[in-house]
Chains A and B, each alone.
Chain A
């Protein structure tokens, strides 16, 4: 593939802003969590794009920092999903809702 690295970064930026828009727009907790996953994926993509760019600049010597950080991001995403969904279950058990509009005690 001979795509310039900047196109990968642009794709990551587009994905991240879609995720951010969904995070603010949606009221369903589960969809909000999915949007966070989307943003973490965009971060992963830019880590890998940077790694690819450095590998190309170094004449083919693999730059492993990007893949390793992407690996840690995947772990953190899994952890975040597990804790977030446990919170959703606890919320549903207490309030029978998954809508963020009905959980605003801390706001007002």
Chain B
């Protein structure tokens, strides 16, 4: 059953990711990305990562995508007119061919490495910890002992980001709107 869910959600994730790239309207891209994130969260869930699945939905769908939506609506980009088309015409451009080659090569290397590396262990639900791999208590203990320094560095990064965003997005005083 969980296997079936995984494969269905994998197909859904890939389809939605393709939708992000192909959609002409940025709004459709965002909705596609949302579907992709939710399907990915389901995959995390069946793979035994409850906390990460929750965080995926909270942070990605709840914060990051809302930020994207906010900017699109603020700048009124949903009907920005004819954007670039992904059609047969584009396939004749050199850049597109190179892009396809590069990402195809990436895909080939990735799939090759995946099939090479993983010695297929007894992958079953019974061998996993009962409360999930990233059970919140264990995660917090590791985070605040062994990974305390990266955690603190992250907080500095967030502070720097807040300052940077304010500086970047602030309207210049006296300048043209």
Which of B123, B125, B154 is packed against the most chain A CB atoms within 10 Å? B123
Flag if A9 contacts B118 (CB, 8 Å). yes
Q: Which residues of B contact A106 (CB under 8 A)?
A: none
Interface residues of B (CB under 8 A from A): 2-3, 5-7, 10, 13-14, 17-18, 20-21, 26, 29-30, 33, 36-37, 40, 43-44, 46-49, 51-52, 55-56, 59-60, 63-64, 67-68, 71-72, 74-75, 77, 80, 83-84, 86, 90, 95-96, 98-100, 102-104, 106-107, 109-111, 113-115, 117-118, 120-125, 127-129, 133-135, 138-139, 142-143, 147, 150, 154, 157-158, 161, 164-165, 168-169, 171, 177
Interface residues of A (CB under 8 A from B): 1-22, 24-28, 30-31, 33-35, 37-38, 41, 44-45, 48-49, 51-53, 55-57, 59-64, 66-68, 70-72, 74-79, 81-83, 85-90, 92-93, 98
Flag if A22 contacts B21 (CB, 8 Å). yes
Q: Which residues of B contact A19 (CB under 8 A)?
A: 17, 21
CA distance A92 to B154 in the complex (A): 29
